[in-house]
Structure 1
Amino acid sequence: MYFLSILFLAQLPVKKPLSMQVLSASRISTATEFPIELLKNLSRNYILGNKASVTMASSDVKPKSISHAKKWSEEIENLYRFQQAGYRDETEYKQVKQVSVVDRWPETGYVKKLQRRDNTFYYYNKQRECDDKEVHKVKIYTY
């Protein structure tokens, strides 16, 4: 379905190209101009504007080294929870979700709630969830 719509759009006549600004309703003169310009500029975050640019710029932080945990600690517990939700660590979670504070249990300081990349939520208990047999699976990233 998606492939057929691209073929259809590719056959439509192209008007003069728009500048690299976010499309506004006043700039779209015909119904055929919008989809073609969208497809042309999708790789440059044309429609998403600043939000995508900020995400891409902040995702440039790459870890320098990776090691596996040998022994459980509170830091390993929190890393386990972030990695269960699909993130390397708290740094990546904050970059991707663009949040400044992560929900934590006040009694223990462990992560309470995380939002996955598909926007579903993981809720965690106050107590330890990373069993001793799972500790070796936790990756520790060094920046």
Structure 2
Amino acid sequence: MSWEINSYVGLNEIKFECSIDDIIQILGKPVRDKTTPTGRRRLQFSERKPAIVFEKENIVEISLLPQIDGGATYHGECIFSQEPDLLLRFLQNCNGQIYERNGFLILFKLGFVLTGFHDDDSNQKSLVMFRRNFYWNALRNDMAPINF
């Protein structure tokens, strides 16, 4: 099964309004359940499944790694197997201005953050979908525009 990113909605049947119980029913029992340094709860299932971060019982992030079963797509484009330069140009056409902060590419219109795609560090590749008005918005004034 391919995982289709739906901006600010979710990833296939994983929706931002899902509860912890919903997520466990969808993905199974997590292999790791930890509290992050920011006090959020992170459920990890394996590198082949999305990791989910909750804040006060609400999903705030959905994280994907290149090893995810079935791959991940956005409007039919394969995120992790597409040539990075082509992918970034495609995403910029969809998103408009992309911003960079500390090696992360933030796509506000699309609702996700990328790393490892623009700096030739494929070992660091990941995509993190974020809930509308979460974390990254507060940092927007400290970000630099970047173009591809």
Q: Name which structure has the greater RCO, CA cutoff 8 Å, separation 6+.
A: 1
* Structure number with higher helix proportion: 1
* Same fold flag (TM > 0.5): no
> What TM-score does the superposition give when structure 1 sets the normalisation length?
0.26
> What TM-score does the superposition give when structure 2 sets the normalisation length?
0.25
